């Protein structure tokens, strides 16, 4: 057993650079797993810095010095942030409150519909099954109400935390943009000098992560805007809330689109019933999802993500379970990192002659 492990180690870890790369990956994943929540403001700042770095470089290409370019981009970022907080967030909060208030009415209507099913389709559903479903619905409604009460009681703490983040994150974004080269130089100063393999992997992954983050935010904004205009056109209730949910759902490939279909369909059904308007809303929503998956995603991520759908779903499940929402957002970049490491990892297949003879014996 020991000779087998020794040959496996020599085949995969005989190069010192491989050991350095394995150490850096282990440290990085340990930080993510055990300190992810504590580093949430820093990670959010890094994401925004990634987003804004492209605009800063574009201004630099127009021969604007980096410091003025950073100031211009940062002021635009603050303007968009303040406008979102003043215009979008209050409407979202109002629609969420209104939806929670109308949930009991929707649940009652749903129960009435369920009670009619055994009479219409006795061969498919029984009264006992309907009672079980109604019990589950009531239990979920009570649990949802309890969660809303808990959120209300803890709202002061959440508001205080959000206010701190609203101050800390923009400041960190500004300094990450302003002192980008100095920060990267300080970090690399702690790394070993013989890190060619790690640098090669990082350069490939860094380019893909930056493109992915920018592309994902562009996709969220486009899908959100398209859904909002569509829902407004059909005069659908909670248009901003539902469109925001549809936009955010693109963070979770495949699964997000399927899950967010349920609230869109339910709100449309309780508002329009089984009518042509209900059908048109679902068709329009299906068209948006089709265009997102078959036009927008290939256009934005054709050279960024080269992963099989099964690998993407597995990455979302694994990293989402480890790291929550951040893990879901970074599931594809992390899977791309693993793919780049596997592709770049050197293997030494030439086994010494003595070991080959021992293995044959």
Are residue 55 and residue 102 in the same domain, yes or no?
Answer: yes
Query: For residue 33, which of 311, 319, 340 has the smallest C-alpha distance?
Result: 319
Are residue 324 and residue 283 in the same domain, yes or no?
Answer: yes
Are residue 174 and residue 210 in the same domain, yes or no?
Answer: no
Are residue 213 and residue 329 in the same domain, yes or no?
Answer: yes
Q: How many domains does the chain have?
A: 2
pTM of the model: 0.73
Q: Is 150 within the bounds of a domain?
A: yes
Q: What CA–CA distances, in Å, run from 132 to 105, 263, 353?
A: 19, 22, 70
For the chain, where are the E strands, in sequence order? none
**3-state secondary structure at position 252:** coil
Instruction: Give the tokens for residue 297.
Output: 């995603």
Are residue 202 and residue 77 in the same domain, yes or no?
Answer: no
> Running along the chain, 361 residues long, what does each successive block of 10 average in pLDDT?
64 61 73 71 82 87 91 92 86 83 76 73 73 72 61 53 80 90 80 68 72 83 94 92 90 79 88 88 92 82 65 76 71 73 61 46 44
Are residue 336 and residue 202 in the same domain, yes or no?
Answer: yes
Last residue of a domain, one of 154, 171, 193: 193
Are residue 41 and residue 55 in the same domain, yes or no?
Answer: yes
259-293 pLDDT, tens digit each:
888 889 889 988 888 888 999 999 999 999 999 88
Are residue 326 and residue 218 in the same domain, yes or no?
Answer: yes
What secondary structure does DSSP assign to 288-355, as a single string?
HHHHIIIIIHHHHHTTT----HHHHHHHHHHHHHHHHHHHHHTHHHHHHHHHHHHHH--------HHH
- Nearest-angstrom CA–CA distance, 72 and 66: 10
Instruction: Give the tokens for residue 148.
Output: 């809303």
* DSSP code for 361: -
Last residue of a domain, one of 193, 209, 237: 193
Q: Is 5 within the bounds of a domain?
A: no
- List the domain range (segments joined by +) for residue 302: 195-347
201-218 pLDDT, tens digit each:
777 677 777 777 788 888
Are residue 81 and residue 130 in the same domain, yes or no?
Answer: yes
């Amino acid at each position: 057993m020991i000779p087998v492990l020794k040959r496996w180690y020599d085949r995969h870890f005989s190069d010192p650079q491989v050991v350095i790369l394995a150490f850096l990956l282990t440290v990085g994943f340990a930080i993510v797993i055990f300190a992810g929540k504590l580093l949430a403001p820093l990670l959010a700042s890094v994401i925004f810095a990634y987003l804004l770095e492209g605009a800063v470089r574009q201004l630099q290409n127009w021969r604007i010095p980096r410091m003025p370019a950073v100031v211009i981009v940062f002021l635009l970022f603050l303007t968009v942030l303040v406008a979102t907080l003043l215009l979008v967030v209050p409407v979202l909060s109002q629609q969420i409150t209104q939806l929670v208030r109308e949930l009991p009415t929707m649940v009652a209507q749903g129960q009435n519909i369920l009670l009619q099913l055994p009479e219409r389709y006795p061969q498919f559903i029984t009264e006992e099954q309907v009672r079980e479903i109604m019990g589950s619905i009531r239990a979920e409604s009570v649990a949802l109400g309890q969660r809303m009460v808990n959120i209300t009681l803890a709202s002061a703490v959440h508001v205080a935390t959000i206010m701190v983040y609203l101050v800390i994150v923009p400041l960190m974004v500004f300094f990450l943009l302003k002192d980008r080269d100095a920060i990267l130089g300080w970090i690399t100063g702690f790394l070993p000098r013989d890190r060619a393999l790690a640098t090669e992997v990082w350069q490939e992954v860094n380019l893909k992560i930056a493109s992915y983050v920018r592309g994902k935010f562009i996709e969220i904004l486009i899908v959100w805007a398209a859904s909002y205009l569509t829902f407004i056109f059909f005069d659908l209730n909670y248009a901003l809330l539902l469109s925001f949910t549809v936009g955010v759902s693109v963070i979770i490939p495949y699964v997000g689109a399927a899950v967010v279909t349920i609230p869109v369909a339910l709100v449309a059904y309780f508002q329009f019933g089984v009518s042509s308007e209900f059908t048109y809303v679902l068709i329009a929503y299906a068209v948006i999802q089709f265009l997102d998956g078959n036009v927008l995603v290939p256009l934005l991520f054709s050279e960024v993500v080269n992963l099989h759908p099964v690998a993407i779903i597995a990455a979302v499940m694994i990293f989402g379970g480890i790291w929550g929402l951040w893990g879901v957002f970074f599931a594809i970049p992390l899977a791309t990192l693993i793919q780049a490491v596997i592709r770049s990892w050197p293997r030494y297949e030439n086994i010494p002659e003595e070991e080959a003879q021992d293995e044959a014996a």
